[in-house]
Amino acid sequence: MRIDILTLFPNMFDGVFQESILKRAIEEKIIEVNIVNFRDYTKDPHNKVDDTPYGGGAGMVLTCQPIFDCIRDLRDDDCKVIMLTPSGIPYKQKMAYDLAKEKHLIILCGHYEGFDERIKRICDMCISIGDYVLTGGEVPAMVLVDSITRLIPGVINEQSHIEDSFNEHFLLDYPTYTKPQVYEGMEVPEILLSGDHKKIAEYRHQESLRITKENRPDLLNDK
Ligand code: ADE
């Protein structure tokens, strides 16, 4: 998969792609990440990429020209263009599964007071990673790339996410334990020591349901 990230702050991505699983996915050519500074596309004599909002109000708005030209330059017949904005649709695991099947993603990171609305017309979807406002789309872009990459076949041990995909609902993880069996008086649940894999699987499923009901009852109503 090719992933183009359009940003005004390319240095923010130093590090995330140079460690751990994402680094390996790049080395093994499972993903190719291309960080593009869309300021390079501006035709403004002062290199500006933003301007004041029509109608007044605080802050600056990203202008159409550099982003239109940048996306036109990068797009091909088989790509999805994603705008990151707090007013987008909420990002869900199901969307990560769908996006993991794409060949080419173009991810647009905003800054300042947002984008000129007309930029949405050249985007396929607008995504928000949560009900809070960040300083820009860079951290959300990292969230997208990380959550999508781990679902591409060959990136991680598939058993660790395969169960989620078969569940009708996305459930929160069951609790896990490792050695020692007793730590400061707290014991590992007996059933996990039983060796009865059928019972353990059922216990884990029930624990997933219990934790999801407690912490995220909304997920059980999601389709
Ligand atoms: N940009 C700023 N906040 C954001 C959010 N919550 N999701 C996506 N993009 C954003």
What are the chain's domains?
2-157 (3.40.1280.10), 165-221 (1.10.1270.20)
Taking the centre of ligand 1 as the mean of its atom positions, its distance from the CA of residue 133, in whole angstroms, is 6
Which residues line ligand 1 at a C-beta cut-off of 6 Å?
84-86, 110, 128-130, 132-134, 136-137, 140
The atom of ligand 1 lying closest to the CA of 129 is 7
136-162 confidence digits (pLDDT tens)? 999 999 999 999 999 999 999 876 665
In this structure, what token pair is assigned to residue 79? 């790509």
Total Cβ atoms within 10 A of residue 131: 7
Q: pTM score, two decimals?
A: 0.93
CA of 137 to the centre of ligand 1 (A): 5
4's tokens: 């183009």
135 Cα–ligand 1 center, Å: 8
Kindly give, in sequence order, each residue whose CB lies less than 8 Å from that of residue 207, ignoring residues fewer than 6 positions away.
174, 175
Which pLDDT score, from 0 to 100, does residue 222 have? 76
- Helices 138-149/20-27 angle, 10° precision: 70
Rounded-to-integer distance, Cα 66 and Cα 193, Å: 60
Distance 128 CA to ligand 1 centre (A): 5
What atom in ligand 1 is closest to the CA of residue 127? 8
Whether residue 167 is predicted with pLDDT greater than 60 in this model: the reply is no
Confidence of residue 2 (pLDDT cuts 50, 70, 90): very high
Write down the mean pLDDT value for the chain.
95
How much of the chain, in percent, has pLDDT values that exceed 70? 95
User: Which residues make beta-bridge pairs with 145?
Assistant: none
Backbone φ and ψ for 158, nearest 5 degrees, come out as -65, -25
Instruction: Determine the Cα–Cα distance for residues 203 and 29; give it in Å rounded to an integer.
Output: 39
Which residue do the tokens 């994603």 mark? Answer: 82
Give the residue whose CA is nearest to atom 10 of ligand 1.
85
Nearest to 134 by CA among 175, 88, 85: 85
pLDDT category of residue 112 using cuts at 50, 70 and 90: confident
